[in-house]
Amino acid sequence: MRKLLIPAVVVVLALLLMSMFVIPEGERGIVIRFGKVLKENESSVAQIYNPGLHFKLPLFDRVKTLDARIQTMDGRADRFVTAEKKDVIIDSYVKWRIQDFGRYYLATGGGNALTAEALLERKVTDVLRSEIGAREIKQIVSGPRNDDVLPASSDADVVTTEAAKEALEVDGQRDQIMADVLTDTRKSAAKDLGVYVVDFRMKKINLPDEISESIYRRMRAERESVARKHRSQGREKAEVIRAQAELEVSTILAEADKTARVTRGEADAKAAKIYAKAYNEDPEFFTFLRSLQAYEKSFNDKNDVLVLDPSSDFFKYMKDPKGATAK
């Protein structure tokens, strides 16, 4: 009897251990019985085992643990065609988690995360391709227009190029595209995969190298055109400023010359008046003074040569200081 008791205890302990299973934190468990997912109370919803210790039928039940945390699917960059038949390369990512564990297990061939992400990526790509194909590049790369950033005054010189004006007038739909892709993918993924899509974002929007080069050339041409325009306007303003400066200089010089002439005329008139007065008071002394001034100016330079008649009145004060008439 004792020989049978020990094997029985061992079998019971083995069955007990085989019937126990532990679900780790952050995961959920489902039980597979005879190849089918165990349901809750004969409903279509799989029975979910939360983290902790649980029991199952040994030998008949198999436990599958699935990650219940939010996961990130960082998809590869893919090429899409816009409404104007231009290619763009978009890099995106998806945040997702398991919502219906039973459906997820069946749809992914036994809860394979790689299979789930491959199927989810295909759904996201299809919806995104449809959204991109209905819009132009300028709508895809721009966010919603914010009228608060526009200039409050109509004469404010804020927008200087046609491209910038056009950019402000574009109602960007990048956020709307992400919202539409999230909504459509969430419905499809929940229905087909049992997955809840938490978020979808476009990380990067690039253009193919050949298109980027043509855009850079166009941008460079636009910048050069704007530069030429600014240079032309600068030269025009410089000519206006230079002409105004020359006009002011001419005006100032004319006023100065006019003032000088008036002053010189008044001085000459006053000097003539003084000379006339001096002549009237003492004609002989006046004549003598003027003759001395004439001598000073005539013999100021040693190289000066005068050819005059010695008996002329010019030399009368040299011959006679009293000014007698030369003979």
Is 217 a member of any domain?
yes
CA atoms within 13 A on the CB side of 280: 6
**Residue 98 forms beta bridges with which residues?**
195
pLDDT at 150: 46
Where the chain has pLDDT below 70, the residues are 1-3, 42, 143-171, 295, 297-327
- What's the CATH number where 168 sits? 3.30.479.30
Classify residue 41 by its DSSP letter.
T
Same domain, 96 and 179: yes
Same domain, 76 and 202: yes
pLDDT at 111: 86
Same domain, 132 and 110: yes
Q: Could you give the 3-state DSSP secondary structure of residue 290?
A: helix
pLDDT at 238: 94
Is 115 a member of any domain?
yes
Helices 283-298, 209-281: inter-axial angle, 10-degree rounding: 140
Residues 18 and 59: beta-carbon distance below 8 Å:
yes
Is 327 a member of any domain?
yes
pLDDT at 322: 60
Residues 144 and 171: beta-carbon distance below 8 Å:
yes
One-letter amino acid identity for 269? A
Structural domain that includes position 60:
2-67
- Count of structural domains, the chain: 4
Strands (E), 60-110: 61-67, 71-74, 78-81, 87-98
Q: Which of 80, 294, 113, 300 minimizes the C-alpha distance to 194?
A: 113
Two structure tokens written together for 109: 């061939």
Q: What is the DSSP string of 107-173?
A: HTTTT-HHHHHHHHHHHHHHHHHHHHHTS-HHHHH-----GGGS-SSTT-----SHHHHHHHH----
Overall size of the chain counted in residues:
327
